[in-house]
Structures are given as structure tokens and as C-alpha cells.
A and B are shown apart, each in its own frame.
Chain A
């Protein structure tokens, strides 16, 4: 059970394997990131914040070619966050309470697992996918589920903590996307899983710290 590559994305910048790739100057930093990555995927503009962050981060993860040549159902997606689809939920409520009509294009994003669907569509990934909600980043849950996956024969799992929260004034209070690609082996043990949890927590904490310095 080993992290082969990781990325972190927030308004402070885009990081790959703990190194800053680029920072953001513009208010619409998600769009700036899309342009920085020279993506050509117009569907991006229709997405909610969670899906945008996940899609952008996955491009960063893929940039070294590490996911080239995998089979289309080989990669498992294991994602989680604390606030489910709160950001889009509030916008959808606003559409029918204040703007006169429930918006179908917002409604379809009022589920957190839509972002794993967007990743699957973008990359033609047909593999397993699960979305968990935990009160905060929970390295133990990731480690536990990765251990289960390893025992079931999964070899590669893209994990993500993708969260977006609006405050009471509908301003963005928090937005971050932490992705890590994990190579699994049937030989992985419970001890491997426990030490993995510690490493994972350290990595997440270091990303958060480096965005504060910046």
C-alpha cells in the first residue's frame, strides 16, 4: 500500500508531490487552473466546484503519464468529503426559492458522487467507485477501505478528499482537493494499513501547511 503520486489544489495553488506547480492570481482560480493546464474540455464549465476541482486535480496527477495504459476498469475511485454537495445544494435551493424555477442543471450536481462520474466520463474509467462522508479528513477510513480493496484484488486506487463549503453569507468558506494514487498488493497487511494512515495524515497536513506559507 503505497502512494505513487499525490496532488493538492486550493485557491492558494496547484501542488504535485508536495511541490508547487503554479499559484493563482485571479478570482476565478478554477478557470485559471483550467487554462494553465491547457485543457480543452468545454464540459468543464458546466460542472460544479467539486467536479471542477476533481477533474483539474486528476489532470495534474496524470501529467507524469502514470495512468497511461491502465485497463479501463482497473482503477478504483475512493472519494470522501465532509460537506457532501452543500455548495450546490444551497445554489439549487436559491434557484427555486428566489429565482422562480428549480434549475435542472444545478440539481444534477446536488450529489457528491457526481464528481466521480465526471472523472469516469473524462477518462473512460469503468471501475469501482464509492463516496463517503466523514466529519473531517479521515485517514483511518481511507486506509481501512484501501486494505479491503487490496484484499479483494484491486491494484490501483485513486483516492480523493474534495470539499467545498459555503458560509452563512453564501461565500466560499473552504475549498480543497487532495488526491492520492495508491498502489495496492494482495500482500498488504493490517500493519501496512495502519502505517499508511499515519503517512497519509502527514502528507495531508503538509499540503495544508504549505498552502498557508504561500
Chain B
């Protein structure tokens, strides 16, 4: 294994807060960003969405600009502009208002303008596993290339395009999403921009080390999860093997947990096959909705918050076991000893990804 890599907060802009502190307060207090949006559906149905109300026009670009300006409060301009710093963008749709033009051009331009960073922005668009893949890719750039810092930005916004698409698949819930619950009915779409910073330099004070990551494919279906959880089972195994740790060392799993019947069922099967059914697990989709390309990044930020504050966050919306294989869902926010965390994601295209991080004591 190469040199050590550390993760730290960039920022998080979501419906429940601007900055990681505000988001943590909301998560701790059980405040969700999901609310009913009247007439949002294709036939003016009322769907539950997690939207940032203050952003009205040119929403993708505005959200990215807001997050980058917030990032500058925690990262120096010198670091962001350094040629040894690389930016990695994770997004499923970019700014789709720019169609038929390049949907990622504005993001590249905004990042360059805001930071003066000379390097090409690495753009990853790998459906809902984009965020976890982006963090894994960032770690590779630090371990094997000459970069000292990698800034990973996960961003997607709610659009008619994506909403109508999920509506056409009958994948939307007519109440706020309830991942892993018996009564779960589907997803609530959400939007957010999360930024996490990976560095070869150990931060002072609270610090979290990146251990390993991997991706896999179910080789089963482009839009339905595997019934056996094969891809997730494999990628968790591979990640643990690469990290060189024992399964019993994992204190907490930050799952994908979209709130659809099949996805959550698949995850419960995979975690059981991995022998991780006793490990506390949550999904944050009941707080943020499903933020697609941002999800993996904002959930890694939430993992850092859980580690820093030694607090397991509730899996909002969950009341009763609703998967055939039982897993240990966190029902109430509670103090716990959390050192080693597994983050997973699964998505369209049959992709699965995972990473392991550990607090440095």
C-alpha cells in the first residue's frame, strides 16, 4: 500500500444546512429536507422532494458556486489553486439545462474561475455510485500520481428530467422515503453539493485515514438490483481485503438505502452474505433524499461527522424491519464508539462501490 491519505471536510450545501456544522445540527435534531412539492410531477402530482429553496435560477451552476465559495472558508485559496491539487467532480447529469450542449462545461469553468487551479477537472459520471468512485479515484491520484491534495465535489440538482424519469419507472415514494422500512415505497429525489478534501498531509487534531476502495458490477440488470446482492457482496469483500482489516473491525456501515423495495432488499442480502448483519447501518436518504451523484460524497461527509462526534445517526424513516434478511438499522441517534466505517453505494448500470475509512487515534 502507498503513502497515507487523510480525509477532511470541504463543505456541504443541502436543504438542511449550508456548511457541515449546520448540516450536523439538523441531522442530530432529526430535521429532514424532504417536503411535499405541489404540482412537481409530470401530471402535476405532488411528490416529496429535498430541494434547496433559496436557489432559484440556473440552479446547478448557482449551487456549485455557493458550495465553492463556502469551501474557501475552510480551504486556503493557495491550496485550491496549487498545481499539486486536483479537482474531481462527481455528477450524474451535470447542468442538463445546457443540453444539447456540454452539460459538464459550466462546472469545469466555475471550478477554474473560483480556484484558479491549472489542472483539468476529472469528471466522473457513473450513476449513483459516482460519489464513492470519485473518492476512490481521488485516493489513487494521491497514492500513485504526484498530487498532494484532491478536492472531490459531488453535485446534482432536482430537475424535471430526472423527476419525470423516476416517475416513469414508478420509483418515487408518495411520502418521504423510508429506507429499509417495511412500508417503504420508493425514493424521494434530493439535491446537494458535498465537498470532501483528501490529502497526503495529516490534519492536526481530528483525522481520518482512507484505507481502501473498490467497484464492481452485478452483471445482472441495467436498472434493477441483483437479487443475490452479488456485486455489492463482491465489492465489500474486495475493499476489506485491500484494506487488510478484519470484518469485526467495522464499527458502522453507511449504506446506500434508496428506499425502493428491491434496492434495500438487495443490500440486506449482501450485508448478510458479508457477515456484517450485526454492524450498525444507516441510510441518510430519509434526510437528504436521493441526491444521485452527490450521495456518495455527502454520505462520506456524514461518516466523518459520526466519527468526530462519536455519534450514530438515525436512519430516518425507518420503523420496522422490512427486508427478508435482518440488518442492524440505527433507529435512534445515539453515542457509540465509531472508528472504522464502511461506505457503500449501488446504482443504475449494475454498479456497486465501497470504501473503508478509519479515524486516526
Contact = CB atoms under 8 A, between A and B. Distances in A.
Interface in A75-134: 77, 82-84, 86, 89-90, 92-93, 96, 101-104, 107-118, 120-121, 123-134
Given A84-B103, A120-B217, A148-B140, A114 B125 contact: no
A147 B79 CA distance: 26
Given A113-B351, A148-B141, A131 B168 contact: no
A129 B137 contact: no
Interface string B209-247: 000001111111111000000110010000000100000
The 9 closest A-B pairs by CB, nearest first: A117-B349, A107-B165, A120-B217, A102-B164, A148-B140, A102-B168, A104-B168, A133-B123, A120-B219
Contacts of B222: 108-109, 114, 117-118, 121
Contact of A131 (B126, B144, B145): B126
A128 B124 CA distance: 14
A28 B206 CA distance: 59
Interface string A151-170: 11000000000000011100
B167 interface: yes
- Give the interface size bracket for A toward B: 35 or more
Interface of B: 2, 42, 92-94, 96, 99-100, 102-105, 108, 120, 122-127, 133, 137, 140-141, 143-145, 160-161, 164-169, 214-223, 230-231, 234, 242, 348-351
Given A73-B234, A84-B103, A110 B165 contact: yes
A130 B103 CA distance: 19
A104 B126 contact: no
Contacts of B143: 148, 151
A107 B169 contact: yes
Nearest to A165: B100
Given A113-B127, A121-B219, A121-B220, 10 more contacts: A84-B103, A86-B100, A90-B99, A92-B165, A112-B125, A126-B219, A130-B124, A133-B125, A147-B145, A148-B144
A83 B94 CA distance: 11
A130 B219 contact: no
A36 B221 CA distance: 26
A104 to B, nearest CB: 4
Nearest to A115: B349
A188 B234 CA distance: 27
Contact of B140 (A73, A116, A152): A152
B348 A114 contact: yes
Q: Could you say which of A116, A126, A144 has the most chain B C-beta atoms within 10 Å of its C-beta?
A: A126
A130 B213 CA distance: 13
A126 B234 contact: yes
A82 B102 contact: yes
A135 interface: yes
A117 B217 contact: yes
A124 B230 CA distance: 12
Given A73-B216, A121-B350, A133-B104, A111 B127 contact: yes
B contact patch SS:
mixed
A66 interface: no
B125 A128 contact: no
A128 B136 CA distance: 12
Contacts of A174: none
B94 A127 contact: no
A146 to B, nearest CB: 11
22 contacts: A86-B100, A89-B161, A93-B99, A96-B164, A104-B168, A104-B169, A111-B92, A111-B348, A112-B125, A114-B127, A121-B350, A123-B219, A125-B217, A126-B230, A130-B124, A145-B137, A145-B140, A147-B145, A148-B143, A148-B145, A151-B2, A166-B100
A141 interface: yes
Contacts of B103: 84, 86
Contacts of B140: 145, 148, 152
A84 to B, nearest CB: 6
A129 B136 CA distance: 12
Contacts of A141: 120, 122
A203 to B, nearest CB: 21
A114 B42 contact: no
Contact of B217 (A83, A108, A126): A126
B133 A130 contact: yes
B217 A114 contact: no
A132 B123 contact: yes
B14 to A, nearest CB: 23
B132 to A, nearest CB: 11
B127 to A, nearest CB: 5
Given A114-B348, A130-B126, A89 B216 contact: no
A108 B351 contact: no
Contacts of A117: 217, 222, 348-351
Contact of A168 (B94, B100, B123, B350): B100
